[in-house]
Amino acid sequence: MKDIKSIRNDFPILQKEVYGRKLIYLDNAATTQKPQCVIDAINNIYLNFNANVHRGVHALSDMASEEYEKAREKVRSFINAAKKEEIIFTSGTTGSINAVAFSFGEKYIKRGDEILISHIEHHSNIVPWQMLCQRKGAKIKVIPVDDSGQIIFEEYLKLITDKTKLVAITQASNALGTEVPVKEITEEAHRHGIPVLIDGAQGIQHGTTDVRDIGCDFYAFSGHKIYGSAGIGVLYGKEKLLEEMPPYQGGGDMIKNVTFEKTTYNDLPFKFEAGTTNFPAAIGLARALDYISELGLKDISSREQKLLNYATEKLQGIDEVQIIGNAALKIPVISFNIKGIHHYDAGMILDKLGIAVRTGNHCAQPALERFGLVGTIRVSLCFYNTTEEIDILADGIKKVIEMFA
């Protein structure tokens, strides 16, 4: 792997100061910073070949379409999908999950059916299913988690019934850091013929993801959490299911033929890409995937795990800090509270020290309620963070404690 100094030099924003202090960015689970090559790739589109994709017969449109389809192929190979047709560009994880909730839901969910989710889902993997259940008279069932924040596998098994029509589960919890055994969950669901959707928003950026190895039927992720820009996401779906599902949005590009009486839909993946997609962001995402592939996903993962262990030990060394979520397998996310100090107050003081952390419920209210909490402070690390930054965080936390003493 490149040395950390040159990695950090790839990210212009990391050289910034806030309030006259060096920026320490520890909010990577909310969104990651962008390397110069991704910024350049997006700039390059607007400077050199901006035109709508799949529409024009002219040179610029051809170039944009070609780059867009190359980006699709890049995503396919990155997650090891079988076919390019199984890769649908959406607006983000939220967009991808809603697409499945409407489209799969329309076709397959009926009154009395059950959808299994876990207690540590992001709101994006709860609310679309609730909305679907309201439309169809179906029901959500929730897989409980233990005190470490890991799902209880035996309880999962007990919840599967002949009414279960989908398992929708996160690969990793944004609120607690728990890495969920998605492959085992998928295998078990498939034993009963139940399809599985995986929310990969917090999983894909931390290691190698192979959708065929996991075996999942749908996989969703966001470009902005994996060093690409906002406004782009991916929905992977197995071809057979995508073929059977109706489109969830109508408009340009998703059609073959339109009359006032009848429309025939386009082939995959275009059937699910109505209107002008965020093609510059898709092309930027492909560059981001190249960038992290060049760094090496195994090296990224091992560096991040070292940072996680270092930060966990540092925070455990502060008596007033209580970490929530101690699963054996974790992404580099640490959620914690400081005894007697509100998480917002702590977050605001840390901010003034140049340290960006997230505070609140992390869009996972039920996950925090499981631990009797309304919020935490969340530190989320990635490969460009350093142990020095973690030291400064620990000093900052001690300062917060002194101020409130």
Q: Which residues contact 304 (CB under 8 A, 6 or more apart)?
A: 206, 331, 332, 381, 382, 383
User: Is the sign of the CA dihedral 235, 239, 245, 251 positive or negative?
Assistant: positive
Residues 122-141 that bind ligand PMP (CB under 6 A): 122, 124-125
Q: Which of 67, 199, 217, 273 binds ligand PMP (CB under 6 A)?
A: 199
Q: Which of 278, 295, 287 is nearest to 44 (CA)?
A: 287
Nearest residue (CB) to ligand PMP, 74 versus 362: 362
- Distances in whole angstroms, Cα of residue 287 to Cα of each of 28, 202, 294, 297, 368: 19, 19, 10, 15, 35
CB of 199 to ligand PMP, least distance (A): 5
Report which secondary-structure segment, H or E, holds 237. Answer: strand 233-237
Assess 335 for contact with ligand PMP (CB under 6 A).
no
Helices (H), 296-330: 297-316
Of residues 363, 371, 386, 399, which one binds ligand PMP by CB under 6 A? 363
Contact call for residue 380 and ligand PMP (CB under 6 A): no
Of the candidates 229, 226, 354, 359, the one whose C-alpha atom is nearest the C-alpha of residue 283 is 229
- From 64-72, 149-157, 196-204, 241-249, span contacting ligand PMP (CB under 6 A): 196-204
Please, what is the minimum distance in Å from the beta carbon of residue 222 to ligand PMP? Answer: 3
Tell me if 229 contacts ligand PMP by CB under 6 A.
Answer: no
What's the closest the beta carbon of residue 171 comes to ligand PMP, in angstroms? 8
Residue 209 within binding range of ligand PMP, rule CB under 6 A: no
- Among 164, 222, 312, 361, contact with ligand PMP (rule: CB under 6 A): 222
Please report whether residue 150 would count as binding ligand PMP according to CB under 6 A. Answer: no
Which listed range, 101-109, 119-127, 155-163, 289-297, lies at the site for ligand PMP (CB under 6 A)?
Answer: 119-127
CA-wise closest residue to 351 among 19, 14, 13: 19
33-92 residues near ligand PMP, rule: CB under 6 A: 92
CB 226 within 8 A of CB 32: yes
Q: Is 22 exposed, middle or buried (CB count within 10 Å of its CB: 0-12, 13-18, 19+)?
A: middle
- For ligand PMP, the binding residues in 81-100 under the rule CB under 6 A are 92-94
Q: Does 327 engage in binding with ligand PMP (CB under 6 A)?
A: no
Nearer to ligand PMP, 125 or 337 (CB): 125
87 contact partners, CB below 8 Å, separation of at least 6: 72, 75, 76, 81, 234, 235, 236, 269
Interacting residues toward ligand PMP by CB under 6 A: 92-94, 122, 124-125, 170, 174, 199, 201-202, 222, 363
